[in-house]
Amino acid sequence: MQSCSGTVVSWLLVVLAFFSWQIAVAQTQQAPKTDPAEVAALNRILGRWGLKSSPEWNISGEPCSGFASDGTDWDYYPNINPFIKCVCSYVNNTVCHITRLRVTKLDVVGQIPSELQNLTYLVDLYGT
């Protein structure tokens, strides 16, 4: 009976060590970052229009964070404006790209900023 309980304890220690390792690996993974060229382009575009990023999607200087990178559509957040949506599945989930930009009812006038060409993953520009 003693060897049976020793085997069970040994297996429990192995399982515990395995799960502890998995948790440690998950904690060391970095949050994905927005492509720096896209961050610069977005900041210049918003600056030209006299706009600022929203704290709902730009958390601590990372544009593709908060609501910008969650799985919901921006229709769920009609009051956040301007607004971006990002896809963060590039380069093993470490790089985000801005795929949507909404600037509606903000009285944005003038030429379309040339910096939009630097948002190479942009598939939806919504403005009225």
pLDDT tens, 48-105? 989 988 888 887 789 999 889 988 888 888 888 999 999 999 999 999 999 999 998 8
Query: Taking 80 as the threshold, does the pLDDT of residue 32 lie above it?
Result: yes
* C-alpha–C-alpha distance, residues 37 and 46, integer Å: 14
- How far apart, in whole angstroms, are the C-alpha atoms of residue 91 and residue 70? 18
- pTM for this one? 0.74
- Give, as one character, the DSSP assignment of residue 64: S
Quick one: CA torsion of 99, 87, 62, 28, rounded to 10 degrees? -170
Distance CA 122, CA 100 (A): 6
pLDDT at 25: 47
Tokens of residue 9, six digits:
């304890």
